[in-house]
Amino acid sequence: MQKSSSHAEQRKGPQSSLMRASERHSTVVSRLSRSRRTRTESRHRSNEVWQELESTVHVLDNGVDRTPLPLQKRPNANGVPRESHQGMSSISLLLPLESSSIFHSSLLNASSIDALNVASNTSPYSPSQTGFVTASSSLTSVSVDRRASVFSSSTLSAPGQTVQYQAGSFQLEDAFSAPKKRVLTREERHMWFEDKTTVVLCETPTIMLYTHQDEIVPNERKEELQEVQDRNAAYAELVEAKRVDEGTRFQEKGSWTFIVPKKSIHCSICPPKKKDAGALQVTPWLLRDQFTALLAEDTDVMKDEEEEVDEEDGELEETGEEQEKEVPSETTGERSSLSNNRSMLSWMFADSLLPTLRVMERVVVQNTMEEVQLSYRGITMDPAARRVPRASEKEENSNLEETEMAVAAEVQEPNDVAPAVAATPLLKSELPPLRISEDIKGLWTFRSPQTRDRAVTCMAWNCKENDILAVGYSAVRGQDALGVEPANTFQGGIVCCWSLKNPLAPERVIQLNTEAGVSSVAFSYEHPSLLAVGNMEGGILIYDIQKDSNVPAIKTTLTSGQHTGAVWEMKWVARGKERGEFLMSISGDGRVVQWAVGKTIERVAPDLMTLKRQGGAACEPVIADNGTNGGKRNGDMQQRRRRDALFSRQCGGMCMDVSPADGTVYVVGTEDGSVHQCNKSQTENYELDYAPHSELVYRVRWSPYSDEYFLTCSADWSSRLYRLGQSTQLLKFDSPNQNAVQDIAWSYTNSTAFATVTAQGNVELWTIMDSIHPRSTVQFLDQRRLACVLFAEQDAAVLVVGDEKGDVTLFRLLSPYYSGMNMLADEQERQLEEAIRKAIS
Paired residues of 591 in beta bridges = 610
CB 388 within 8 A of CB 366: no
Going from the C-alpha of 343 to that of each of 291, 600, 742, the distances in angstroms are 20, 46, 57
What distance lies between CA 539 and its chain's CA centroid? 40
The residues, ordered by sequence, that sit 6+ positions from 305 with a Cβ below 8 Å of its Cβ are none
Q: Which of 65-74, 358-367, 375-384, 789-798 has the lowest mean pLDDT?
A: 65-74
**pLDDT tens per residue, range 425-436:** 556 678 889 999
Choose among 768, 771, 723, 725: nearest CA to 747.
768
**What mean pLDDT comes out for the span 192-198?**
86
Q: Which of 156-165, 337-346, 372-381 has the lowest mean pLDDT?
A: 156-165
- How many domains, in total, are found in the chain? 2
Q: What confidence score (pLDDT) does residue 259 get? A: 83
Q: What is the CATH number of the domain that holds 574?
A: 2.130.10.10
CB 699 within 8 A of CB 787: no
CA distance 57 to 377: 88
Going from the C-alpha of 734 to that of each of 348, 395, 741, 745, the distances in angstroms are 58, 37, 9, 16
Other CB atoms within 10 Å distance of the CB of residue 176: 16
Top-ranked range on mean pLDDT: pick from 79-88, 187-196, 346-355, 830-839? 830-839
CA distance 7 to 1: 9
pLDDT band at 458 (very low <50, low <70, confident <90, very high): very high
φ and ψ of 329, to 5 deg: -70, -35
**What mean pLDDT comes out for the span 602-609?**
88
Q: Tell me whether residue 447 is in a domain.
A: no
Q: Tell me whether residue 137 is in a domain.
A: yes
**SS3 call for 704:** coil
Q: What confidence score (pLDDT) does residue 300 get? A: 77
pLDDT band at 534 (very low <50, low <70, confident <90, very high): very high
CA distance 719 to 764: 11
Going from the C-alpha of 456 to that of each of 474, 475, 493, 510, 517, the distances in angstroms are 7, 10, 10, 14, 10
Following CA atoms 708, 714, 718, 723 in sequence, which dihedral angle do they give, to the nearest 10 degrees?
-10
Choose among 467, 474, 545: nearest CA to 501.
467
Using only the alpha carbons of the chain, give its radius of gyration: 53
**pLDDT tens per residue, range 243-288:** 888 777 787 777 778 888 888 777 777 777 877 666 556 778 888 8
CB 502 within 8 A of CB 361: yes
Domain end residue (candidates: 543, 573, 604): 604
CB neighbour class for 213 (10 Å; exposed up to 12, middle 13-18, buried from 19): exposed
Angle CA 120–123–126, to nearest 5: 125
Domain extent for 461: 455-478+488-604
Q: What confidence score (pLDDT) does residue 549 get? A: 85
Give 297 or 333, the one with higher predicted confidence: 297
pLDDT band at 111 (very low <50, low <70, confident <90, very high): very low
Q: What is the DSSP string of 226-259?
A: HHHHHHHHHHHHHHHHHHH--SSS----------
Q: What confidence score (pLDDT) does residue 721 get? A: 95
Q: What confidence score (pLDDT) does residue 633 get? A: 47
Choose among 115, 134, 110: nearest CA to 126.
115
What distance lies between CA 424 and its chain's CA centroid? 46
Q: Tell me whether residue 220 is in a domain.
A: no
Q: Tell me whether residue 493 is in a domain.
A: yes
Angle CA 452–454–457, to nearest 5: 140
CA distance 329 to 327: 5
Choose among 80, 91, 29: nearest CA to 56.
91
**pLDDT tens per residue, range 760-774:** 999 999 999 998 999
Q: Which of 181-190, 332-341, 439-448, 730-739 has the lowest mean pLDDT?
A: 332-341
Q: Tell me whether residue 375 is in a domain.
A: no
φ and ψ of 811, to 5 deg: -125, 140
**pLDDT tens per residue, range 30-52:** 555 555 555 555 555 555 655 55
Domain end residue (candidates: 194, 211, 233): 194
Q: Which of 258-262, 321-325, 386-390, 805-809 has the lowest mean pLDDT?
A: 321-325
**What mean pLDDT comes out for the span 736-741?**
91
Domain end residue (candidates: 151, 167, 194): 194
pTM: 0.56
The residues, ordered by sequence, that sit 6+ positions from 768 with a Cβ below 8 Å of its Cβ are 721, 731, 752, 753, 832, 835, 836, 839
Q: What confidence score (pLDDT) does residue 15 get? A: 52
Q: Tell me whether residue 711 is in a domain.
A: no
pLDDT band at 640 (very low <50, low <70, confident <90, very high): low
Q: Tell me whether residue 263 is in a domain.
A: no
Q: What confidence score (pLDDT) does residue 314 get? A: 55
Q: What share of the chain is helix, strand, coil (3-state, %, to 5)?
A: 30, 25, 45
Q: Tell me whether residue 756 is in a domain.
A: no
